[in-house]
Amino acid sequence: MTLTQAPKPLAQSSIHIADQAIGEGQPVFIIAEVGINHNGCMNRAKRLIDAAVEAGASAVKFQKRNLQSIYQKKLLDDLSSCEQSFQYLMPILKDYELTIDQMLELKEYCDDAGIIFICTPFDRKSADQLDEIDVPAFKVSSADLTNFYLLDYLASLHKPLIVSTGMSIDIEIEKTFQFLQARSVDFALLHSVSSYPVDPRDANLGRITQLLRRYDVPIGYSSHDVGTILSVIATSLGSTIIEKHITLDKSLRGPEHKVSLLPDEFNHLVESIRETELASLKVNDYILQGELLNKMVFRKSVVAARPIKKGQRITEEMLTVKSPGTGLSGQQFYELIGATAKHDFEIDDLFHDSDLCDTQDGADLAIPDWGKWGFVVRYHDLETVLPHNPEILEFHFTYNDTL
């Protein structure tokens, strides 16, 4: 696929969320990202909303998940087979998840306070619930930029989308841009680096200029860095949306408190955004090493939604999309429809690139003939690796093994 190119920044179209226009010539839309920094406490969630209102934020954002819809059952049942970061995160997600009734209570609290409530749905069921309580816009996490199964459904709900682009190379962003554009949904793109925290040297803010040159939608920045300066620079580069985490205590349990701003710091950010100076940084199209692991853990793969027999013609009802991202990309979800199953699939079995081509699994694996050789493996790699009879295995400990 050829990347969309333009010699100079394109005029940004505007989108509307509630009563606010977002885009070129409009005030920067500042999102106070609560995420799960409420730690499951409604009182803390409301105090964070109050802090965002006092700081002058445009919106407050939360997150909604149905864990059974986005993670394979074996991962939920046996964390010892997962990456260390997943083992740390999963208990937190379970403990901090709010019900849809609690989300409605927070939305009404925001309405009364005069600030926009938005939310990130990580799956179709969560999107349905949020749609029922009339959330005015959806945020799409970097983990789901390639999840056409989810994006197609969100677009059908006819609400504006704000899509983060962390863990993504240019061609992935291009595919998603074209996918959403074809569905006539209003959307914005946010540059992001999905590493916590982001070192300023890796922030790659020049990519904001690159996105502005390629796309005629609102472009912004979702910050995972410490402090406020990079968000200010992003504004000076033309960002019309800034998303930044907010917390009441950076020492609390959870993955995002340490990269969040305290209420007084968030107030300083809002003030600083209005008087920024121009800055420019290099443009890179690569994924950081830390992002590669996150990409494998948090991205989604196409999996079997029901048992499939070898030789069956694959239909959409036979497929769904779940983590981890070690199988066929969610961007290839619709390419599988109409294909013939090359082997039996049980529920949650991953599809792979080989299911879209004529080669057999492992047929193109070149076995070294220069003496002893082996693989670096994790627990869940063993079934794949052992049939090739390596002489050496370098085994990575799990999170619990290191305690």
Average pLDDT, rounded, for the chain = 89
For residue 280, is pLDDT > 50? no
pLDDT tens digit sequence for 9-20: 777 789 999 999
Tokens representing 139 are 């945020």
- Least Cα distance to 195 among 296, 290, 84 occurs for 290
Question: In this predicted structure, what is the pLDDT of residue 380?
Answer: 62
- pTM for the whole thing? 0.81
- Is-contact 293 313, C-beta < 8 A? no
Of 23-32, 272-281, 381-390, the poorest mean pLDDT is in 272-281
Intervals of CATH 3.90.1210.10 along the chain: 300-364
pLDDT tens digit sequence for 231-253: 999 998 999 999 999 999 999 99
pLDDT tens digit sequence for 139-175: 999 999 999 999 999 999 999 999 999 999 999 999 9
- What Å distances lie between residue 211 and 11, 78, 217, 277, 282, CA to CA? 12, 40, 9, 20, 13
Of 38-47, 58-67, 119-128, 289-298, the poorest mean pLDDT is in 289-298
Query: What does DSSP assign to residue 116?
Result: E
C-alpha span between 236 and 238 (Å, rounded)? 5
- Is-contact 127 121, C-beta < 8 A? yes
C-alpha span between 329 and 148 (Å, rounded)? 9
- What Å distances lie between residue 393 and 355, 386, 389, 396, CA to CA? 27, 9, 10, 10
For residue 25, is pLDDT > 80? yes
CATH of domain 300-364: 3.90.1210.10
Intervals of CATH 3.20.20.70 along the chain: 15-292
pLDDT tens digit sequence for 129-146: 999 999 999 999 999 999
- Least Cα distance to 387 among 365, 372, 370 occurs for 365
According to CATH, the topology of domain 15-292 is TIM Barrel (3.20.20)
Greater confidence, 313 or 277? Answer: 313
- Least Cα distance to 67 among 84, 45, 91, 83 occurs for 91
Question: In this predicted structure, what is the pLDDT of residue 278?
Answer: 40
For residue 390, is pLDDT > 90? no
C-alpha span between 210 and 234 (Å, rounded)? 12
- What Å distances lie between residue 96 and 62, 83, 125, CA to CA? 11, 20, 18
Question: In this predicted structure, what is the pLDDT of residue 381?
Answer: 66
For residue 385, is pLDDT > 50? yes
Question: In this predicted structure, what is the pLDDT of residue 230?
Answer: 96
According to DSSP H, which parts of 242-317 are helical?
263-273, 289-298
- Is-contact 374 54, C-beta < 8 A? no
Average pLDDT over residues 301-320: 97
Question: In this predicted structure, what is the pLDDT of residue 370?
Answer: 60
- Least Cα distance to 221 among 276, 156, 155 occurs for 276
- Is-contact 310 344, C-beta < 8 A? yes
What is the DSSP pairing of strand 138-140 with strand 59-64?
unpaired
Average pLDDT over residues 359-370: 54
